[in-house]
Amino acid sequence: MERLRVDKLLANMGIGTRSEIKRAVKQGKVSVDGKMIKDSGLIVHPEEQIISYEGEEVRYQAWIYLMMNKPPGVLSATEDERDRTVIDLLASNDRVLSPFPVGRLDKDTVGLLLLTNDGQLAHELLSPRKHVDKLYEARVHGEVGQADRDAFQAGVTLDDGYVTLPAELDVLENTLEDGEAYSSIRLTIREGKFHQVKRMFEAVGKQVVHLKRIAMGPLQLDSQLAEGEYRELDEAEVELLRSHRGNRP
């Protein structure tokens, strides 16, 4: 069971710096199990004891797992000097735990993005050796057909000479708009090369005009999340991710 100093616990939860918390303890603002403490270095058991700041309970949380429906125009990064990032969309109490995006979606790509501070889980979900499925829906300029399905299943050669792993391509609908052919598709890939989905379609002479990720491994995008919204994963979803790549020690 984890044991922490009170000042470290409160600092990790964004209450203040170590020195600020030390002053707060001296001012009688911090209590453990209902009793004011005098030592900011007091060791506590967060799972068993109630730590309060200015009368309000502070619930300690070591890990954070967020599902976001990423909107267009936002970068899958922790910071950027010019553009907004997905971290900018988080509430301050969620940013405190320093989550980062697991993998990247292009700036104009929308859909499922996992954010966490669990580096080991992120590493294993992104490891090329794991071949974690990523499911996308896309609108494509051009008529997608059986020849494209066969090409994707065999692996297509990208513009840099890389041959992709076999991918599963399903055509949902073909339409004709103003004399131009468009297709709605679903694509499952098992790797994450730069702009991979767009480059795969370019390799067969077509262009992706809208791209949305709807699943990553066993985790599916919550249909109730509007673009730009996010929520914490529930315990079952976290365990599903962990079991998908093996349990974390």
Which residues belong to the active site? 106
Residue 127, classified by CB atoms within 10 Å of its CB into exposed (0-12), middle (13-18) or buried (19+), is exposed
Of 106, 100, 189, the closest CA to residue 152 belongs to: 189
Residues 6+ apart with CB under 8 A from 167: 152, 153, 155, 187, 188, 189, 190, 200
Label residues 8-20 b or e (16+ Cβ within 10 Å = b): ebbbbbebeeeee
DSSP three-state, residue 124: helix
Cβ partners under 8 Å of residue 8, min gap 6 = 18
Cα angle for residues 202, 203, 204 (degrees, 5° grid) = 90
Note whether 104 and 122 are within 8 A (CB). Answer: no
